[in-house]
Amino acid sequence: MRSLIVPALIPSPGMSYVEAGPFQIRFYAIAIVAGIVLAVMITGRRLHHSGYETGAVVDVAMWTVPLGILGARIYHVVTHPGDYFLPSADLWRVFYVWEGGIAIFGAVLGGLVGIVIGARRAKLPVLLFLDALAPGMLVAQAVGRLGNHFNQELFGPPTTLPWGLQIDPVNPATPVGTPVDALFHPLFLYELLWNLTGAAVIVLVEHSRRRHGRRTLGTGRSLGVYLLWYGIGRAVLEWIRLDPTELLIGGMKANVLAALAAALVGVAILGRTFWFARQRAGVPPHPSATNRQ
C-alpha cells in the first residue's frame, strides 16, 4: 500500500480535546490563547522600548481580543453558511466558538476596531501600536495554526512528498475517489513557517532602519510589511486549500479576495511611508512624476 511506501511524517491527531470533568478543553482554543499571550508579550516589550508603559498593551488587548474573536466568528459563519443554516441545523452552534471556526480576516477587522478604541483610551498613537503589534501578530497566527492541525483543517491536495499530512478519510473536504492512504500538503505548517519568517523580516527591516538612525515604529512601515507578507502567503495557500470557505464572490474564494485586499492595503501603506520619507528628506519628485502633473 502507498502508506507503507510514503509514511506520514505528520500523522493525523488522534484527538482534538481533553476532558476536564464536564468540560472539554480543545487544543484549538489552547493554541489561540497561547498565540494571543505571545502577541501581547511581544507587543508590550516593543512598546516599552519605544518609551511607553508595558502594561498599556493589556489595556488595548481588553478591547482588541473580544472584538477580534467576535469579528472572526462572524466572518467564519458568513462564509460557511452550509455549516450553520441548514433546515435541520442547530442554530445555537453559531456560538460554539470552542469547536473551531474563527477566521483571521474577521479577527483583523474586529481587532482593528478594538485597537482604535483601546489605543485612544490608553493615549497610544494607533499607528505606532499597529507597528508594534505586527511581528507579534504573525507569531500569534503561526501558533494558532497548530490548532488547525488538531482540527484537521487547512490542508492542500494529495502529495507524495515525505512531509505529507495524514487526514482522516471521512473528512468531507477530501476529494471523492482519493485513496484512503493518501497524504496531503500540510498547509497549516506552510503558513506557520511563512508567518514566522515574516515576523523575522519585519524585525530585520526595523533593525536596518535603526542602524541608520531612522524611525522604526509609528510610520506604518511594519504594518505595511505585515499586510503585504501575510496577504501574499495566505492568498496562495487559500487558492490550493481543499477545505476552503464556501462563499464565492465572482467565482473567487472569499478568503483569496480578502488576502489579496490585505496585500494591496499593505502596498498602499508602504507607498505612503516611502512618499512621506522622501518628503521629509527633501528629495525632489522624480521627473516622470512632474511631467504627469
pLDDT of residue 8: 56
Q: Rounded distance, CA 155 to CA 174, Å? A: 9
Determine the average pLDDT of the residues in 60-64: 95
CB 139 within 8 A of CB 199: yes
Q: Could you tell me which residues are beta bridge partners of residue 184? A: 158, 165
Domain contains 10: no
Q: What is the pLDDT of residue 176?
A: 82
Residue 14: inside a domain:
no
Cα angle, residue 220 at apex, residues 107 and 139 outer, rounded to 5°? 45
pLDDT at position 28 is 87
More confident position, 140 or 277? 140
Residue 106: which domain range? 22-162+182-287
- How does residue 68 score in pLDDT terms, banded at 50, 70 and 90? very high
Q: Is residue 170 part of a domain?
A: no
- Express each pLDDT in 196-253 by its tens digit: 999 999 999 999 877 766 778 889 999 999 999 999 999 999 999 987 677 788 888 8
Give the model's pLDDT for residue 100.
61
User: How many Å apart are CA 274 and CA 172, to the nearest integer?
Assistant: 47
Return the pLDDT at 212: 65
- Residue located via cell numbers 489605543: 119
| 7 has a pLDDT exceeding 70 | no
For helices 126-150 and 104-121, angle between their N-to-C axes, nearest 10 degrees = 150
Is 1 part of any domain?
no
Q: Which three cell numbers stand for residue 93?
A: 452552534
Predicted TM-score of the model (pTM): 0.86
Task: Pick the closest to residue 146 from 33, 18, 7, 3 (CA basis).
Answer: 33
pLDDT tens digit sequence for 155-186: 999 998 989 999 988 888 888 888 888 999 99
- Are the C-beta atoms of residues 275 and 289 closer than 8 Å to each other? no
Q: Catalogue the E-assigned strands of 116-175.
A: 158-159, 165-166
Q: Residue 67 domain-assigned?
A: yes
Is residue 272 domain-resident?
yes
Which pLDDT belongs to residue 3? 42
| Structural domain contains residue 244 | yes
Q: How far apart are CA 36 and CA 183, in angstroms?
A: 31
Beta-sheet strands, E only, within the chain: 17-20, 23-26, 158-159, 165-166, 183-184, 248-249, 252-253
The number of domains in the chain is 1
Cα 213 to Cα 185: distance, rounded to the nearest angstrom: 43
Residue 37, pLDDT score: 95
Spatial distance between the Cα atoms of 233 and 190, rounded to a whole number of angstroms = 9
Q: Confirm whether 4 is domain-assigned.
A: no
Nearest-angstrom CA–CA distance, 75 and 155: 20
Instruction: Kindly give, in sequence order, each residue whose CB lies less than 8 Å from that of residue 115, ignoring residues fewer than 6 positions away.
Output: 60, 63, 64, 126, 129, 130, 133
Residue 132, Cβ density class (10 Å: 0-12 exposed, 13-18 middle, ≥19 buried): buried
Q: What is the pLDDT of residues 10-57, one digit of tens each?
A: 888 878 888 888 888 889 889 999 999 999 999 999 999 888 888 899
Angle among Cα 28, 32, 35 to the nearest 5 degrees reads 140
Of 5-9, 13-17, 150-154, 273-277, least confident by mean pLDDT is 5-9
In the chain, what percentage of residues exceed pLDDT 90?
52
- Specify the residue for cell string 512618499: 275
End-to-end CA distance of the chain: 68
